[in-house]
Amino acid sequence: MPDTALPPDGWIGRPMPRAATRRLIEGRGRYTDDNAAKGELHAAFLRSPFPHAAFGITGRDAARALPGVRAVLTAEDLAPFCRSWRTESRAFPGLVSPEQGPLARERAVYQGEPVALVLAASRAIAEDALELVEVEWDELPAVTDPAKALDAASPSTHQGLTSNLAWRTEFGGGDVEAAFASAALVVEERFTFTRHTGVPLESRSVLATYDPAAEALEVRMSHQIPHQMQVHLADLLDLPMGRVRVIAGDVGGGFGIKMHVYPDEVAICAASRLTGRPVRYVCDRIEALMADIHAREHVMQARMAVDAEGRILAFDADDIQGLGAYSIYPRSSTVEAMSVLRTVGAPYHFGAYRARLRCALQNKVPTGQYRSVGHPIGCATTERLMDLAAAARGEDPLEFRRRNFLPEAMMPWTNPAGGRMAELSHTATLAEFERLLDLPGLRAEIAAMRARGRCVGLGFSAVVEYTASGPGAYGPAHVPVAAMDTVVVTLEPTGDVVARASVAEIGQGIQQGIVQVVADAVGVPPSHVTIHTGDTASAPHGGGAWASRGAGVGGEAAWGAGRKLRAEILKTAAALLQSAPEALDLRGGQVVDANGTPRMALADLASTVFFRGHELPGGVQPQFTATHQFRREEDVFLTTNGLQASLVEVDPDTGIVTPLRHWVVGDCGRLLNPLLVEEQVRGGVVQGIGEALLEACRYDPGNGQFLTGTLADYLLPMADNACDITVGHVETPYSGSALGAKGAGEAGTCGAPAAVLNAVNDALASRGARVSELPITPTVILRALGTLEASE
């Protein structure tokens, strides 16, 4: 393990703005579509207009004849240049997910599935040509509703499959039947969670350039995990890894949308290989809403058993996941459902658990990992049951939670869901939360609003997140996912330090965090550290941006590399100064002695080594490039905890819910940069508010047509329907690493839907109404109030 001496007055923990945003505020960002290649072709996809159809492409001549069109390609054309793939995982034995290719062949199984590709001199001409491709469509019955999909009488999502069950499992521990039989109180609810999607403002984009002479592929793309794409593109296009370079420059948001292998992106790479020309493609918004991964379509039946003293005995959860037409490649959509069921009950102590899961194939776009994967569903389920139990007992909801939090003294503890709970700070977090909210004052404020006839409600949620996945997450499943990271640090002749890291910057600010870590590890100011990420030719292999892993995993690699470089610098300085490395230190870019007296500027040392090596004593061979690769050996996940509160107002006439205020206290271990962590939390909360109140991917229940293909139909939180968010911290560094950082980027999204759901129910309670469906649209509210019939 690298040495763990964080400098007492260091840069880690300082709320520094992110240096790289200077470029972005001046419009100098370079996102994928800001790059053009000489001789490039523009691509447009013909996508299935039906959720399920057999098809034949019967005529391409008219499209090909359009001036400016270079090629009209089908699955058969791309097959020689690209393998097909199938999602498999030893974690999900028996998973049913058929073979896929870059373009559909003969049968389309979701609306928006790419079936043909036009390459032309401009995107506009390519789109013109799409209209001239002759296709015979034979529409087939579509499977949409996840529960009905599992009926024996349901049509099949895929030809040749007799069932739409993609995978099922049961797991848990303890005696659930006995717990419910002996319970003083059982609360139960059926929850409906509607599909939604990530909507990064920059849609998925790719510029692929295949060089036939070098037999090498260079791909610029808007992606969270360039190294993962390098692995899969090399595999699918049968190229050596070293001849595939993936570059993710500035990335306009990810949120999990940009961590998968999409057929259209693979098709662009194959098309560049076929033509020997650069090919550029940018998803437009309707394509993004229709064919980016969706997430979180679940029907959850859940109950909780409580004893006479108000202690939780058991949870029993039965979940149906709407998986989509395929299990997403390569990680599998089932990961989301397992995350849902592993999150149930996570903040609390309980003795027994039973989880049942069925994952349903549907003629809808595949679902996949989306910010705070699965957690918001498990959290909302748990926290709503907590409120129902507290209400049934006539008890304050925070008091009920306080009694049931997993006591610090019991940790580490593996709960009956199989979740290993370690180093959580429920007690301290609750104390900070109560201080931040000023509950007596807030309750008086709410009472005053209610006295004036306003329908307001306050809701809480407790959060435990599994973050910074280690090798034990995907490794045993034999899914090729790097849970490690690499950082290379180099001392330049000027005394500047350059870091190259396998973590990826997608706006979350991890570059700034890594710079602060390297600055402290080496002993230079952050202004002397430059970082490069997002290019497989720059940094060796590593994990990229997912699972809130940048600080907890990438940060450790940066610390290790920085300490190695520092040791080498001090060793060299000692040789030059006729001192001992232990007697020297490196602070602020100066080699100093034990009294802090400067002995040599790092810039002088560096220029001596690089330019006047003849001055070095014999036998001194400074190694001013240091690499550290970090994988965590203990703890498959780093658990984090927090509490959220939501204050909402319901308009009983219109059914509109307005979030008024939101509070968060979180413990993500060591804060590398509190300013950036707080904005991760706030952004995550509003994403969760969108999930709770607005966002839904809707399909016609009859013909399965996608209904929310514009941002006028798919509603997002905007500045005027979001609220101010107060954020507090508790800091419990993870004891198993040098920095002690855990994951921070997704906790806001994890807990916000639950808090809003509870707040709305608190507001509706006085009217005898209750809701258990997300998003809580005006229709949901008006049905709950009886203003609308259930069928309306």
Tell me the C-alpha to C-alpha distance, in Å, between residue 419 and each of 91, 717, 740.
16, 32, 20
Stretch touching another protein by CB under 8 A, among 44-52, 403-411, 439-447, 717-725: 717-725
* Binding test (CB under 8 A) with another protein, winner from 63, 108, 125, 747: 125
Beta bridge mates, 627: 488
Q: Does 447 bind another protein (CB under 8 A)?
A: no
* Binding test (CB under 8 A) with another protein, winner from 251, 269, 302, 481: 251
Q: Which of 697, 789, 751 is nearest to 383 (CA)?
A: 751
Beta-carbon count within 10 A of 197 CB: 26
19 or 620: whose CB is closer to another protein?
19
Q: What token pair was written down for 635?
A: 């703890």
> Rounded to whole angstroms, how far apart are CA atoms 74 and 62?
15
Stretch touching another protein by CB under 8 A, among 277-285, 349-357, 515-523, 528-536: 277-285
Give the containing element (helix H, strand E) for 206.
strand 205-211
User: Least distance to another protein from the beta carbon of 445, Å?
Assistant: 18
Stretch touching another protein by CB under 8 A, among 77-85, 209-217, 298-306, 720-728: 720-728
Beta bridge mates, 498: 490, 530
User: Least distance to another protein from the beta carbon of 682, Å?
Assistant: 4
Q: Does 659 bind another protein (CB under 8 A)?
A: no
Looking at this protein, which amino acid is placed at residue 128?
A: D
Q: Which of 327, 273, 199 is nearest to 708 (CA)?
A: 199
Tell me the C-alpha to C-alpha distance, in Å, between residue 156 and each of 54, 142, 325, 327, 643.
13, 8, 10, 16, 43
Q: Which of 157, 131, 137 is nearest to 146 (CA)?
A: 157
18 or 245: whose CB is closer to another protein?
18
- Residue 304 main-chain phi, psi, to 5 deg: -135, 135
Q: Does 602 bind another protein (CB under 8 A)?
A: no
Do the bridges between strand 279-282 and strand 529-533 make them parallel or antiparallel, or are there none, so unpaired?
Answer: unpaired
- Using the 8-state DSSP alphabet, how is residue 18 labeled? P
Report the half-sphere exposure of 246 (CA within 13 A, side-chain side): 28
34 or 434: whose CB is closer to another protein?
34
Q: Which of 549, 417, 418, 422 is nearest to 481 (CA)?
A: 549
User: Least distance to another protein from the beta carbon of 65, Å?
Assistant: 11
> Rounded to whole angstroms, how far apart are CA atoms 472 and 785?
47
222 or 467: whose CB is closer to another protein?
222
User: Least distance to another protein from the beta carbon of 36, Å?
Assistant: 8
SS3 335: helix
Stretch touching another protein by CB under 8 A, among 2-10, 339-347, 609-617, 705-713: 705-713
> Rounded to whole angstroms, how far apart are CA atoms 717 and 268?
32
Q: Does 633 bind another protein (CB under 8 A)?
A: no
Do the bridges between strand 205-211 and strand 279-282 make them parallel or antiparallel, or are there none, so unpaired?
Answer: antiparallel
Q: What residues numbered 3-22 form the site for another protein, per CB under 8 A?
A: 17-18, 21-22
Q: What's the burial of 112, exposed, middle or buried (CB within 10 Å: 0-12/13-18/19+)? A: buried
Q: What token pair was written down for 674?
A: 């509190």
Looking at this protein, which amino acid is placed at residue 493?
A: P
User: Least distance to another protein from the beta carbon of 521, Å?
Assistant: 23
Beta-carbon count within 10 A of 80 CB: 9
Q: Does 200 bind another protein (CB under 8 A)?
A: yes
User: Least distance to another protein from the beta carbon of 94, Å?
Assistant: 36
Q: Does 199 bind another protein (CB under 8 A)?
A: yes
Tell me the C-alpha to C-alpha distance, in Å, between residue 371 and each of 258, 336, 751.
11, 10, 12
101 or 509: whose CB is closer to another protein?
509
* Binding test (CB under 8 A) with another protein, winner from 8, 67, 240, 596: 67
How many residues interact with another protein (rule CB under 8 A)?
62
Give the contact letters, 664-693, x = binds to another protein (CB under 8 A), - = no: -----------xx--x--xxxxxx------
Give the contact letters, 744-773, x = binds to another protein (CB under 8 A), - = no: ----x-------------------------
Q: Does 131 bind another protein (CB under 8 A)?
A: no
Stretch touching another protein by CB under 8 A, among 145-153, 183-191, 250-258, 374-382: 250-258
On whether the CB atoms of residues 722 and 683 are closer than 8 A, the answer is no
* Binding test (CB under 8 A) with another protein, winner from 101, 416, 717, 728: 717
289 or 569: whose CB is closer to another protein?
289
* Binding test (CB under 8 A) with another protein, winner from 134, 177, 284, 700: 284
Q: Which of 156, 167, 42, 41 is nearest to 109 (CA)?
A: 156
254 or 347: whose CB is closer to another protein?
254
621 or 710: whose CB is closer to another protein?
710
Its sign, for the CA torsion 558, 559, 564, 567, is positive
User: Least distance to another protein from the beta carbon of 676, Å?
Assistant: 6
Q: Which of 294, 349, 353, 359 is nearest to 322 (CA)?
A: 359
Do the bridges between strand 205-211 and strand 456-467 make them parallel or antiparallel, or are there none, so unpaired?
Answer: unpaired
Q: Does 29 bind another protein (CB under 8 A)?
A: yes
* Binding test (CB under 8 A) with another protein, winner from 506, 665, 730, 774: 506
Stretch touching another protein by CB under 8 A, among 33-41, 82-90, 553-561, 648-656: 33-41
287 or 423: whose CB is closer to another protein?
287
Looking at this protein, which amino acid is placed at residue 207?
A: L
562 or 683: whose CB is closer to another protein?
683
266 or 643: whose CB is closer to another protein?
643
Q: Does 38 bind another protein (CB under 8 A)?
A: no
* Binding test (CB under 8 A) with another protein, winner from 437, 483, 573, 722: 722
On whether the CB atoms of residues 388 and 187 are closer than 8 A, the answer is yes
User: Least distance to another protein from the beta carbon of 719, Å?
Assistant: 4
Which residues are near another protein by CB under 8 A? Answer: 17-18, 21-31, 33-34, 36, 67-68, 121-122, 124-125, 198-203, 250-253, 255, 282, 284-285, 506-509, 675-676, 679, 682-687, 710-712, 716-722, 724-725, 748
